[in-house]
Amino acid sequence: MSVQESFAKIRPAMQKRAANTLARGANVREDFQEQLIRFFDLVEQAVTSGDAAWLDPLLYEWANTRTETDIEGGERNVTALLKQLISLSIDTARENLEANEALDLLSALVPIYLQSIERVTAFENESRAAYFSNKLETLQKKIERVDKSKSNFVSVAAHEFKTPLTLVEGYTAMLSDVMPSDSEQMHMLLQGVHNGVRRLRELVDDMIDVSLLDNNLMAFNFQPMWPNRIFNLVKAEFQPTLERRNLTLEVRAFAGADELLFSDPERIYQAIRNVVSNAVKFTPDGGRITIDGRMMSGFIEVTITDTGIGISSENQDSIFEKFGQLGNILLHSSGKTKFKGGGPGLGLPITKGIIEAHGGSIWVESEGCDEATCPGSTFHILLPLRSQPSDPNLARLLSESVFPSESADEAQTE
pLDDT per residue as tens digits for the range 71-130: 454 445 777 778 888 888 888 888 888 888 888 888 888 888 888 888 888 887 887 788
pLDDT band at 339 (very low <50, low <70, confident <90, very high): confident
Query: What are the extents of the domains in the chain?
Result: 3-142, 151-214, 223-398
pTM over 0.75: no
- Order the strands of the 377-384 sheet from edge to edge: 248-251, 288-296, 299-306, 377-384, 361-366
User: Which residues lie below 8 Å from residue 348, measured CB to CB, with a gap of 6+?
Assistant: 274, 275, 278, 319, 320, 324
pLDDT of residue 36: 81
Report the distance separating Cα 88 and Cα 400, nearest Å. 91
Over residues 388-407, mean pLDDT: 53
Q: What CA–CA distance (Å, rounded) separates 85 from 29?
A: 15
Return the pLDDT at 408.
42
Rounded average pLDDT over 351-378 = 94
In 3D space, the residue among 283, 204, 262 whose CA is nearest the CA of residue 392 turns out to be 262
Q: Percent of the chain having pLDDT more than 70?
A: 83
Burial class for 287, CB neighbours closer than 10 Å (0-12, 13-18, 19+): buried
Query: What is the structure's pLDDT at 193?
Result: 86
- Average pLDDT score over the chain: 81
Q: Is a pLDDT exceeding 70 seen at residue 327?
A: no
Report whether pLDDT(289) > 50: yes
Q: What is the C-alpha to C-alpha distance for residues 336 and 306, in angstroms, rounded to an integer? A: 17
- The three-state secondary structure class of 262 is strand
Residue type, 190: L
Whether domain 223-398 has CATH 1.20.1300.10: no
Query: Any idea which of 112-121, 189-198, 384-393 has the lowest mean pLDDT?
Result: 384-393
Which has the higher per-residue pLDDT, 30 or 74? 30
DSSP state of 333: B
